Amino acid sequence: MVGRPRLVRPARLLLGFSLGALLTVLVVWSRDQWLAPAAGGQARPGPARGEHPPRTRAPRTVLYWNTFYDAADFYVGFGDKPFRGCPYSNCITTNNRSLSSRADAVVVHMLNPVDPLPRPRPPHQRFVFFLKEPPTLSYLPYAPYRDVFNLTMTYRLDSDVVNGYYQLLPGPERTPLPPLETRSRAVAWLVSHCDTTSGRELYVDLLEEFLPVDIYGACGPNRCPTGAHQNREECYRLVAQHYYFYLSFENAQCSDYVTEKLALALQYGMVPVVLGPSRANYERVAPPGSFLHIDDFAGPQQLAEHLNYLISNSTAYRELFRWREHFHVAGSAGWCELCRYLHEPHAPQYYADIGQWWIAEGRCSIQPVVPEPNYLS
């Protein structure tokens, strides 16, 4: 399929190479198994690009080529900090470009300015396409990056390195559940982007006709208590003490794009009502029986009726927390997975058309969940 990673094909040796240069190339070829795929496009056996034989445990170096928004350390730290506690922890991060020739992975955040990538590339090095926002919020010139990237590190579940916003692990939820008996308000929504491609704000406008929605943040009149407005998790914790439901509405409807809006509602003890990818997609990343999807209802009125039913029926409402006996929400394991990838054998690959993979295969809906009003009619 166009846009999928391809096995690397042989470089053509220039006529006129000296015998010494040719022998050097052959030594590198045999060591890294980088240049020649077998017939049928399958990689030859042996250590993949960027890998050493399994007996070696040399640290893998990850170079931040640019910043992640304003964070030089990608908000995870330098050195071994991102990998502490990981199953594979023998990795270090740096933004020192003088180490580029030694880096096993060069991570490029595509929404920040990208300086020319290091050339020539060492045979063991991988360029990593890094994004946390969906295609509808990341308009990029992809043509210059054909045949450049070897790995993808995004929220998508088909990424080479899945770097979601959270992970769901077996074992009871560790964050205490606020008392259900003290809740008195129906629905909360913490939101800072008021005009979105998903049209979530239009859905909320209609929902408010049938049920009160308390909106916190830049798009509403409510604010978290003093001290919590700078701490998102503390804000969720405080809000969860008073509300039955939380609107985990994403700003885009793209496959696998499920963010902390779901994770924090689950963790701190509200029932999330979700808007984003399909119900089937949510079922892949959320505990069973833990959420309500807007697609389960004919429209905002029917959703409001069901929420009111659950508020009045404590037995049915409590069933939505049964998952907490079996699962708990934890932070993303993306950097752990990158370190693991760099230590494990993988067939060498590159993305011939990263734009095709990111946009066409990202499967985003650009239609708002409810039609926008026509003010001219």
At residue 314 the predicted structure's pLDDT band, cuts being 50, 70 and 90, is: very high
pLDDT score at 108 = 97
Beta carbons of 371 and 166 less than 8 angstroms apart: no
Q: Does the structure show a pLDDT above 60 at 142?
A: yes
Name the residue with tokens 């993979």: 357
**129-143, 161-175, 214-228, 342-356 — which is least confidently predicted?**
214-228
Q: Note the pTM of the prediction, 2 decimals.
A: 0.83
Beta carbons of 208 and 257 less than 8 angstroms apart: no
Residue range 238-252: average pLDDT?
A: 96
**Backbone angles phi and psi of 338, in degrees to 5:** -65, -45
Beta carbons of 6 and 20 less than 8 angstroms apart: no
Q: Does the structure show a pLDDT above 50 at 31?
A: no
Q: Does the structure show a pLDDT above 80 at 373?
A: no
Measure the N-to-C terminal CA separation of the chain; round to a whole number of Å: 45
pLDDT score at 116 = 92
Q: Does the structure show a pLDDT above 70 at 27?
A: no
Q: Which of 32-41, 217-226, 285-294, 354-363 has the highest mean pLDDT?
A: 285-294
pLDDT score at 34 = 31
CA–CA distance, 139 with 110 (Å, rounded to integer): 10
Give residue-wise pLDDT tens across range 61-78.
999 999 999 999 999 999
pLDDT score at 344 = 93
Residue range 348-375: average pLDDT?
A: 84
pLDDT score at 43 = 25
pLDDT score at 371 = 65
DSSP state of 48: P
CA–CA distance, 54 with 212 (Å, rounded to integer): 59
**Backbone angles phi and psi of 296, in degrees to 5:** -75, -10
Beta carbons of 41 and 24 less than 8 angstroms apart: no
Q: Does the structure show a pLDDT above 60 at 226?
A: yes
Q: What is the mean pLDDT of the chain?
A: 85
Beta carbons of 24 and 376 less than 8 angstroms apart: no
pLDDT score at 33 = 33
Give residue-wise pLDDT tens across range 331-344.
999 999 999 999 99
Beta carbons of 262 and 248 less than 8 angstroms apart: yes
Question: Measuring CA to CA, which residue among 254, 247, 243 is closest to residue 197?
Answer: 254
**277 half-sphere exposure, CB direction, 13 A CA radius:** 21
At residue 1 the predicted structure's pLDDT band, cuts being 50, 70 and 90, is: very low
